[in-house]
């Protein structure tokens, strides 16, 4: 069976509107992106157009919506656009914004889904990343509880209960499929209670909310001329939110998710637990341990900077780990008293991981050596200090004969610490 490929949009698309919680006007533009980019938000209204990766590590707030941030820059209420992208199978895209929050639209993901359908989705030359839940797990976060079990696909089931005549107990369960999502989930709107509006606005929330972008409930029914699109629209919207928040995993999910009274706080806690279990399994079953790495790389202490390899796809991609300890010799002279791993050594470690990717795809590797020829677009994002574990993911951009172009990204706890494009050549010893 052919492994599914990563996907991006065929063309850019734009949308204008007002943010649900900030009330700020914003223009949103979906921009196609290269493989391994993931979903990133770009604040073009700020100096330098900073980008924030849509990852669980970057979540900074979950009060009535999910907010991500890096280096003091934030994007609010990302769950609806993220939900639509995940359901459409879009792995790589840049979401440009000229404000702090995506437009609310009508309070659902319908406009985002229509944007994606209008742009079209195209396959890319890289295998899609998956997180497969191997064994059942449970998470409880305040009033929200979740059970996740192994599955060959992705399904989300939600149960909610509100003491209101139009809601009561509701249950919704759907396969996360592009067609099913567009028909049954995308148009389900967010909802709130008229009795809570003043309190929310006093906390800076719901500043852009109105009956045009939310279902507003009175004590006994619906506010003014609002009509429900589905009898269980409330539960369907919770499904939409779960899909969006779990999109922060940064990979396609294979699991059966059952959520009881889900919340953004609970959804993010669930994403963290799924990711934690996935990483623990990878660490428990290294593809290459240090003894095997010594057979491939000529480097030795103190210049061997890779401890293990946990994922590998021949001539495609590799994930290697470097555990940074206080005993590293470079800490003795590099910012004594405030130890920081030298940036050039972070890139060196990334290069060694890339070298393993190339060496394991050639004949007689013991007779070969990898020399690096060029570095481009090198960026250091955060300092690396003792106790950190750097996760290097390196993917091949192009191979011609013995020469390869690769892109590497190093992360610590989900935060990008360095990235670079590298060119290397395999030569005889």
Supply the pLDDT for residue 198: 87
Give yes or no for a contact between 131 and 274, defined as CB atoms under 8 angstroms apart: yes
Supply the pLDDT for residue 281: 82
**Does the pLDDT of residue 162 top 70, yes or no?**
yes
Q: What is the DSSP letter of 99?
A: S
Supply the pLDDT for residue 68: 97
DSSP three-state, residue 264: helix
Nearest of 76, 84, 90 to residue 108 by alpha carbon? 84
The mean pLDDT of 167-186, rounded to a whole number, is 97
Delineate the domains of the chain, giving CATH numbers in brackets: 5-282 (3.30.1700.10), 290-428 (3.10.129.10)
Give yes or no for a contact between 124 and 14, defined as CB atoms under 8 angstroms apart: no
Supply the pLDDT for residue 361: 63
pLDDT digits (tens, 9 = 90+) for 408-429: 999 998 788 999 999 998 888 8
Nearest of 331, 312, 324, 329 to residue 417 by alpha carbon? 324
Give the Cα separation of 80 and 190 in Å (integer): 10
**Does the pLDDT of residue 248 top 70, yes or no?**
yes
Residue 165 CB coordination number (10 Å): 10
**Does the pLDDT of residue 1 top 50, yes or no?**
no
Q: Which residue among 21, 80, 237, 264 is the active-site one?
A: 264
- Predicted structure pTM score: 0.78
Phi-psi region of 201 (alpha: psi -120 to 50; beta: other; left: phi over 0): alpha
For residues 364 and 312, the model is more confident at: 312
Task: Indicate the pLDDT class of residue 398, thresholds 50, 70 and 90.
Answer: confident
DSSP-derived secondary structure for 81-129: HHHHHHHTT---EEEEESSSS---TTSSSHHHHHHHHHH-EEEEEEEPP
**Does the pLDDT of residue 285 top 80, yes or no?**
no
The mean pLDDT of 212-235, rounded to a whole number, is 92
Q: Which pair of structure tokens corresponds to residue 17?
A: 């509107």
Give yes or no for a contact between 195 and 176, defined as CB atoms under 8 angstroms apart: no
DSSP three-state, residue 188: coil
- The share of the chain scoring above pLDDT 70, in percent, equals 98
Give yes or no for a contact between 350 and 392, defined as CB atoms under 8 angstroms apart: yes
Supply the pLDDT for residue 282: 75
For residues 13 and 367, the model is more confident at: 13
Q: Per mean pLDDT, which range of 66-80, 114-128, 354-368 is the poorest?
A: 354-368
Task: Indicate the pLDDT class of residue 224, thresholds 50, 70 and 90.
Answer: confident
pLDDT digits (tens, 9 = 90+) for 148-159: 999 999 999 999
Annotation says 264 is catalytic: yes
Residue 399 main-chain phi, psi, to 5 deg? -130, 125
What is the residue-averaged pLDDT of the chain? 92
Place of tokens 């699991």: 255
Task: Indicate the pLDDT class of residue 247, thresholds 50, 70 and 90.
Answer: very high
The mean pLDDT of 367-379, rounded to a whole number, is 89
The mean pLDDT of 337-359, rounded to a whole number, is 92
The mean pLDDT of 97-123, rounded to a whole number, is 97
90: Cβ contacts below 8 Å, ≥ 6 apart = 7, 8, 9, 39, 116, 121
The mean pLDDT of 227-233, rounded to a whole number, is 96
Supply the pLDDT for residue 397: 87
């Amino acid at each position: 069976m052919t492994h599914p490929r990563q996907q991006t949009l065929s063309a850019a698309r734009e949308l204008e509107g007002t943010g649900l919680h900030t009330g700020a006007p914003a223009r949103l533009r979906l921009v196609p992106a290269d493989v391994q980019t993931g979903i990133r938000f770009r604040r073009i209204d700020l100096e330098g157009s900073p980008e924030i990766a849509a990852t669980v590590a970057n979540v900074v707030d979950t009060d009535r919506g999910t907010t991500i941030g890096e280096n003091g820059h934030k994007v609010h209420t990302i769950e609806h656009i993220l939900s639509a992208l995940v359901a459409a199978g879009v792995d790589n895209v840049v979401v440009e914004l000229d404000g702090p929050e995506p437009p609310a639209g009508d309070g659902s993901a319908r406009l985002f889904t229509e944007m994606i359908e209008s742009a079209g989705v195209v396959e890319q030359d890289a295998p899609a990343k998956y997180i497969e839940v191997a064994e059942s797990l449970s998470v409880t976060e305040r009033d929200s509880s979740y059970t996740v079990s192994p599955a060959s696909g992705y399904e989300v089931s939600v149960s909610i209960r509100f003491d209101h005549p139009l809601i009561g107990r509701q249950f919704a369960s759907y396969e996360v499929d592009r067609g099913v999502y567009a028909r049954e989930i995308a148009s389900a709107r967010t909802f709130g209670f008229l009795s809570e509006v003043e309190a929310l606005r006093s906390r800076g929330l719901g500043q852009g909310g109105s009956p045009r972008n939310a279902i507003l409930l009175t004590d006994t029914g619906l506010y003014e001329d609002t009509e429900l699109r589905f009898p269980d629209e409330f539960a369907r919207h919770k499904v939409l939110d779960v899909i969006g928040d779990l999109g922060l995993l940064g990979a396609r999910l294979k699991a059966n998710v059952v959520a009881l009274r889900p919340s953004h706080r609970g959804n993010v806690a669930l994403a963290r637990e799924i990711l934690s279990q996935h990483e623990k399994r990878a660490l428990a079953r290294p593809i290459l341990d240090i003894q095997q790495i010594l057979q491939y790389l000529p480097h030795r202490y103190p210049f061997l900077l890779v401890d293990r390899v946990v994922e590998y796809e021949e001539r495609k991609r590799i994930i290697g780990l470097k555990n940074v300890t206080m005993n590293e010799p470079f800490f003795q002279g590099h910012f004594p008293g405030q130890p920081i791993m030298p940036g050039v050594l972070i890139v060196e470690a990334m290069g060694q991981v890339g070298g393993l990717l190339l060496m394991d795809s050639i004949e007689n590797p013991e007779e070969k050596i990898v020399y690096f020829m060029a570095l481009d677009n090198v960026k250091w994002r955060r300092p690396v200090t003792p106790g950190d574990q750097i996760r290097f993911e390196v993917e091949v951009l192009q191979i011609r004969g013995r020469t390869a172009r690769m892109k590497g990204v190093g992360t610590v706890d989900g935060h990008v610490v360095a990235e670079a494009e590298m060119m290397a050549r395999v030569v005889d010893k």
